[in-house]
Structure 1
Amino acid sequence: MKTLNKIGILLLTVATLGACDSDTKIAKATIEAKSGSNVSGTVTFTESNGTVKMKAKLAGLSAGNHAIHIHAIDDCSAPDGKSAGGHWNPTDKNHGKWMKEPFHIGDIGNLVVGADGKGIIERETNLWSVGGKDANKNVVGHAIIIHEGPDDFSSQPSGAAGPRIGCGEIIRK
């Protein structure tokens, strides 16, 4: 009888943990070099309990700040990345700084890159979703763009960040 109880508890635990995992949604963009750059890396979006965590890990960049944005179209076919369209801005706001009104929902900010050419930037928000039904929140079907220069957070419509040197289509996993 004790063995059956232990098995029952074990099965209940496994079922509970499995249910938690099924609530997690993941999307990923693999960054391709554009405009003659050497940029590479990944941007991962993980949604759990209504909050999306984004982590971008990039390499092959010059030291300093590089703007990173979500762009409207999931198309990185152009050599200069312009096939990804403009910033993702479903709420029709002015360009700005992450979480400081007004700002595009795709305004992520500046990636700080060290002398080794590598950088990581993380964001967490309930303004995004991974595969959700609300087109104003769903990051899937858009693209990540890395720019040559920093975002000035004020120039309209896109922050005067220079050429697009990396692009990755955001795909649900």
Structure 2
Amino acid sequence: MKKGTLVLAALALIFAASCKSDKKETKATETTTSPTPVAEEVASAPKKVKIALEAKSESNVTGNAVFTEENGTVTMVAILGGLEPGMHAIHLHEKADCSSPDGKSTGGHWNPTGQPHGKWGDAAGYHKGDIGNFNADDNGNGTITFSTDEWCIGCGDANKDILGKGVIVHQGTDDFKTQPTGDAGGRVSCGGIIQ
């Protein structure tokens, strides 16, 4: 009888140990399984293109322009020197080709939607390249800042993508009505928007 009791006691201990082991494994499994963490939204870095503007048409007009895209808006900041004091037009043109001495290798104003030339935002229409005018001070220095959600940098949309376009600074002022150029005069500075 003692032998039977010992065997039963030994079996009970083995069974209890086995159950404890199962419980530990279950607990271990439960603690390693956790809910999937919620992915945090990571803000993408702004896209940026900086270009040099070189003198054209025997002028001394040089500078640079920086295009930055952030949250669906592109901002252009252009800084120029060597201008005649007064107002000057600046436009985006069809091609980033500044190879000709007069800047005409850039083609006409960038106008992917086939609109008439005009002032930006005018209900009568405007080219996607019709930026407008800016003032050069008595020392011939000028700066213009322009922002729009109608442009993008490298998005591939032919109606919005400014990559591959040219920046042209004109000798005169855009009158916002003469077709197709605004009667802005010669092209005195040029830069291609390329990465």
TM-score range, shorter-chain basis? Answer: 0.7 to 0.9
CA distance in 1, matches of 2:121, 2:79: 21
| Of 148, 162, 169, the match for 1:139 | 162
Query: Counterpart of 1:62 in structure 2: which amino acid?
Result: E
2:33 equivalent in structure 1: none
1:86 aligns with 2:99: no
On the 8 A contact 1:65/1:150 being kept in 2, the answer is: yes
Query: What are the equivalent positions in structure 2 for 1:27-46 lying under 5 Å apart?
Result: 27-46=49-68
Query: Counterpart of 1:67 in structure 2: which amino acid?
Result: A
1:120 aligns with 2:143: yes
Deviates more, 1:22-31 or 1:141-150: 22-31
Query: What are the equivalent positions in structure 2 for 1:1-173 lying under 5 Å apart?
Result: 19-20=42-43, 22-101=44-123, 102-172=125-195
How far did residue 153 of structure 1 move? 0.4
CA distance in 1, matches of 2:50, 2:108: 20
Q: Percent identity of the aligned residues?
A: 53
On the 8 A contact 1:143/1:169 being kept in 2, the answer is: yes
Query: Counterpart of 1:96 in structure 2: which amino acid?
Result: G
1:7 equivalent in structure 2: none
CA distance in 2, matches of 1:43, 1:95: 23
User: For the pair shown, which has the larger CA radius of gyration, 1 or 2?
Assistant: 2
Q: Deviation string for 1:14-68 (max 9, x for gaps)?
A: xx8xx53x43101222101000000111111100111111111111101001110
On the 8 A contact 1:23/1:49 being kept in 2, the answer is: no
How far did residue 132 of structure 1 move? 0.8
Q: Deviation string for 1:111-143 (max 9, x for gaps)?
A: 211001111111111000011121110111000
CA distance in 2, matches of 1:103, 1:35: 26
TM-score (ref. length: structure 1): 0.86
TM-score (ref. length: structure 2): 0.77
Query: Counterpart of 1:30 in structure 2: which amino acid?
Result: A
CA distance in 1, matches of 2:45, 2:71: 7
**Would you say how many aligned residue pairs link Structure 1 and Structure 2?**
155
Whose relative contact order is higher, 1 or 2, with alpha carbons under 8 Å and at least 6 apart?
1
**1:171 match: secondary structure:** coil
CA distance in 2, matches of 1:45, 1:132: 14
List runs of 5+ in structure 2 lacking aligned partners.
1-39
